[in-house]
A and B are shown apart, each in its own frame.
Chain A
Amino acid sequence: MAAENAGKSGLAGALGTALILGLATAVAVGFLALTHSSTAERIAANERAFILRNLDDLLPRSDYDNDPLADIVYGFAPELLGRDQASAIWRVRRDGRPVAAVLQPITPHGYSGDIALLVAVAADGTLLGVRVTSHRETPGLGDAIERRRSDWILAFDGRSLGDPGSEGWAVRRDGGIFDEFTGATVTPRAVVSGVHKALQYFALNEEQIFAAPTGSTLEPIRPAEPDP
């Protein structure tokens, strides 16, 4: 009984208590390991399906004939891709020739935390499109960056590093060409800057991205001109 154990003083009581706490932890760990092993496969499949859904939205399957999710190189560039570890870049090909690359940058300057993006760049440097895969922006304000909430994210389609030029890659309030939302400037500003940096990364690494062997990590690079 609990009361007896609490009454015991000294080392024996303390050890018994510690033992029980350890036992409880072991049971909890076992329970979680079991849950994890029985769900991990499904979670990975869901993740893949989610990415494919987004990918289908950005480029039609008839445009390529490889499996982009298996044709991967890893890019590491904290300043341009926003992640402090290497992230996967999917290569999209048709008849072995590069069609596009899909980057997964993170922009850390959102209103609340990181905004994860999927940026599809055609081999010629034109944006095929951008999607937000996860964010914590204010519902009703910042979440208009989601495709299902508004058309805003489509403003990137067809843009490139030279169109609209580096001053144009900003929201209107900062002198750029992209709209901000009423009551939310920080969120679109973060997304615009994240996409712009991803394009810079692509421009600096274009050859490597398509030429590097599958599964390799690209050499870290320094940006040619630091973003102001």
Chain B
Amino acid sequence: MSTHDYRQTFADGLWHQNAGVVQLLGLCPLLAVTTSLINGLTLGLASTLVMLGASVSVSLARHHIPREIRLPVFVLVIAAFVTAVDMLMSAYMDGLHRVLGIFVPLIVTNCAIIGRVEAFASRQPVLPAAADAVATGLGFTAVLGSLGALRELIGFGRILGELNPAGPASHGGLLIAILPPGAFIGLALLVALKNYLDQRRARGREASSAAIVESGAA
């Protein structure tokens, strides 16, 4: 385990094992906050920060945490980082914190975080653990951002509306996209899109290998 495959870590975190659209973890924040692009991105980055802090701490302390209390310790570490991120956001990103305020504490309930901490960070050295946290976090952020953009575009008929409060507070969109059902439908569409892309790539690979075989035979 001396040479860790960082490429694989990022490929898994961002695509193959994506927390949002493959493992379907962290649905609670995923569905609740993605009413706009900026909400999704911010909460995704906050989750990434928590994941990074928790993974690094747990990885550093991994030889000192007895098995039987590892879950309470993990929860404690994650909750501490969430609270810290909440305070920091309130201090330095006041405007966004007012919009996302009630969802930031919900990061604690994101099982993608405790999942990675338990399955990966608690068994790996610091660097791979940090890389895994960043990869998983960014993958999650990408899903939150896409879903947020999708719902904002369809539901409000605009994009990045929070950054332009003077702009029209349009309610001309399809309201269901903003409501909870829209979150489920949007997520399903993203999952379908990901599967479609994967299948097309697999078919492309088959086709090209088949072509090689044919040309070899000819």
Contacts of B87 in A (CB 8 A): 35-36, 39, 43
Interface of B is mostly: helix
> Does residue B84 face the partner (Cβ distance < 8 Å to A)?
yes
> 4 closest A-B pairs (Cβ-Cβ)?
A140-B178, A39-B91, A42-B91, A28-B80
Show 14 residue pairs from A and B whose CB-CB distance is below 8 angstroms, ordered by the A residue: A1-B63, A2-B62, A2-B63, A6-B66, A6-B68, A25-B76, A36-B87, A39-B91, A42-B91, A42-B92, A43-B90, A139-B35, A141-B175, A148-B169
Other 17 A-B pairs with CB < 8 A, given A2-B64, A32-B84? A2-B67, A6-B68, A17-B69, A21-B72, A24-B61, A24-B65, A24-B76, A28-B77, A35-B88, A39-B90, A50-B94, A134-B98, A134-B101, A138-B179, A140-B35, A140-B175, A150-B169
Please name all residues of chain B whose beta carbon is closer than 8 Å to the beta carbon of A172 when the two chains form the complex: none
Write the nearest CB–CB distance from B101 to chain A, whole angstroms: 8
* Residues on the A chain within 8 Å of B90, using CB: 39, 43, 46
CB contacts under 8 Å to A, within B2-20, are: none
Cα–Cα, bound, A183→B77 (Å): 42
Please list the residues of chain A having a beta carbon within 8 angstroms of any beta carbon in chain B.
1-3, 5-6, 16-17, 20-21, 24-25, 28, 31-32, 35-36, 39, 42-43, 46, 49-50, 134, 136, 138-141, 144, 148-150, 183
At the interface, yes or no: B83 with Cβ under 8 Å from chain A? yes
Q: What total of chain B residues lie within 8 Å of the partner, measured CB to CB?
A: 36
The answer to whether the Cβ of B213 comes within 8 Å of any Cβ in the partner chain is no
